[in-house]
Every structure is written in C-alpha cells, then in structure tokens.
Chain A
Amino acid sequence: KAGVTQTPRYLIKTRGQQVTLSCSPISGHRSVSWYQQTPGQGLQFLFEYFSETQRNKGNFPGRFSGRQFSNSRSEMNVSTLELGDSALYLCASSLAQQTSGYTFGSGTRLTVV
C-alpha cells in the first residue's frame, strides 16, 4: 500500500517567487492536511481539505493557499516567497476527521534564498 507522496522533495527558490507543492494521499483517503515545520515554531497547521473543500485554516497569511482535486490529490501554493518561508512542508492524509492518526508524507524541504 503506497504511502503519502510529496513532490518535489527539495526546492530552492528566490525571494518574491511563487512555489507549488504537491501531495498524493493514500488511496481512499479523502482528507489532506498541510503543515509547516521549522526549528523555531515546530509543526504548525496550514489548512485541511476534504472532498475538494477547505474545512479549516491555520493562522498563516493569504500568500499561503491550497486546493484539492477530485482524486483527493492536493496542492499548496505560496506566493511572493519570503526568507522566513524556508521550512519543511508536510502533508498528512486520513480517511476523514478521524482520531486514529494521520499518515504523513516525507515532506518538501523549501529553501528561499
């Protein structure tokens, strides 16, 4: 059974550019959540999608956006990149809003220079 797949694994971008990250959830999982992980702030919730609808959003500026497709694959976009956006971006999937644990991908390491 394939796990959560995130692409690309590593990315280097310049300040002011925009970036799109991709997440393919486990087959059958309809909920996809995105998290930002930095050494200083730890894991912080970005947003969650279920059946193509955003159900919850964290405290991030509007430069961070996402979407989910009909096959449950999700993308997140960050526009006008800032140095502080450098982080590990993690995607997690689950069947629904369940408490049995979310499965995380290996993440995309974004470096903004």
Chain B
Amino acid sequence: EDQVTQSPEALRLQEGESSSLNCSYTVSGLRGLFWYRQDPGKGPEFLFTLYSAGEEKEKERLKATLTKKESFLHITAPKPEDSATYLCAVQAYSSASKIIFGSGTRLSIRP
C-alpha cells in the first residue's frame, strides 16, 4: 500500500536557524513527489515536484531533495513568514490521478 510519513510532526525554530523536514515514502512506482505549503484556513500551495532520485529543486530559502526512499525539505535561514504546515505527497504510476499525502510538519519560526 502506498504510504507517506512525515517527521517531525512539529518544529519550532529561531529566525535564521536552518533545519530539514523529512518525508519517507513507500510507493509502487513513483511518478512524482510533491511538496506543498499550507497556511491556516487556506488550501495547500504547490512548491515543488521531484521525479527521480538525486533530483534537487530550490525556491528562495527552500530546497527539496529526493532519494529512492525519502525526500527532504531544507530550510535555510528561515523567516517568520515561512511558518506554515509543509505537506509531502506522492503520485504512483499505478494510480496517477490519486495523490497520497503525508500528515504534514507544522513549522513555526520565532522572530
């Protein structure tokens, strides 16, 4: 069964303190791995798609990486506005229209 596990569940950082969020996945034929950001009361906002092991993508202070079993979202020198829940999701070739989401990591950045 396709599965996504995110850790930690919550993370509190000081402004400027870099860290990483983890996403472990089990999927029968990975078509794509997504990272989303979700603010309270809003829908998820697309950040990245990764397709194959070794791939990396960057956007401002965020960098996503992918291996055959997990993905990391690295946050460099975060600011308070980076506070949000970060969601990881996978799409399998066997069921391409169904995206499986992890439970998310709630990130809080203190000024």
A55 within 8 A of B: yes
Interface residues of B (CB under 8 A from A): 31-32, 34, 36, 41-46, 48-49, 51, 87, 89, 91, 95-104
Interface residues of A (CB under 8 A from B): 4, 31, 33, 35, 42-45, 48, 50, 55-56, 58, 90, 92, 97, 99-107, 109
What secondary structure prevails in chain A residues at the interface with B? strand
Minimal Cβ-Cβ distance residue in B for A48 = B97
Pick from B87, B97, B101: contact of A97, CB below 8 A: B97
Q: Chain B's nearest CB lies how many Å from the CB of A30?
A: 12
Task: Compute how far the CA of A100 lies from the CA of B91 in the bound complex, rounded to whole angstroms.
Answer: 11
Let me know if A102 and B97 touch, CB within 8 A: no
On whether A90 and B97 interact (CB within 8 A), knowing A42-B104, A43-B87, A100-B49, the answer reads no
